[in-house]
Amino acid sequence: MEFADYWGWLTAGVVLMVLEILTPGVFFMWIGFGALLTGLVSAAFPDASAAFLGTVFAVLSVISVLVGRKLVGKKQAVENNLNNRGALYIGQSFQVFEPIADGRGKIKVGDTLWLASSPRNIPVGATVKVTGVNGTFLVVEPVNEQ
């Protein structure tokens, strides 16, 4: 192998990452990582055969795609809540601003008031935990303070 062989892998990695910027989706980037890593392996082992480097590229590309899918999957799960802001509050505790009576009231979330619903009546100032979302209402339950 020649000295400049690893430059081909590094160039391919950069080209794939630029292609990722120019095209929608998150696929070329992970294969680009595989090519960049193969370039580093090629630089570290200059006598490596083309077959070996091709295998390294294939394995590293598959691994990076699998890791990337896990990372992007987590990110997409968070982004899916952008249009359902109330879902971000599930599990958090807030104060009742207007009493929850006959199933409806308001809670204070930061500097915003949210409609809240609960099967129980809950007085002003009580701490409640958000357990779900029903339309524009945050479904809450009282938190037992001891």
- Both tokens assigned to 142: 């009282």
Q: What is the SS3 assignment for 10-38? A: HHHHHHHHHHHHHCCCCCHHHHHHHHHHH
Distance CA 107, CA 140 (A): 9
The rounded radius of gyration (Å) of the Cα atoms in the chain is 27
What does the alpha-carbon distance between residue 122 and residue 129 come to, in Å, rounded to a whole number?
A: 12
Rounded CA gap, 99 and 29, in Å? 52
Give the long-range contacts of residues 21-28, CB within 8 A, separation 24 or more: 26/68, 26/72, 27/65
CATH class of 85-142: mainly beta
Residue 142 pairs in a beta bridge with: 128
Element (H or E) spanning 138, and its range? strand 137-142
pTM: 0.47
Residue 104: the pLDDT is: 94
Reported as a single tens digit per residue, the pLDDT across 30-86 is 889 899 999 999 989 888 888 999 999 999 999 998 888 887 766 555 555 556 778
pLDDT tens-digit series, residues 13-43: 888 888 888 887 667 888 898 999 999 999 8
Q: How far is CA 106 from CA 44, 109, 143, in A?
A: 63, 10, 16
- What's the CA gap between 33 and 55, in Å, rounded? 15
Where do the structural domains in the chain lie, given as residue ranges?
5-79, 85-142
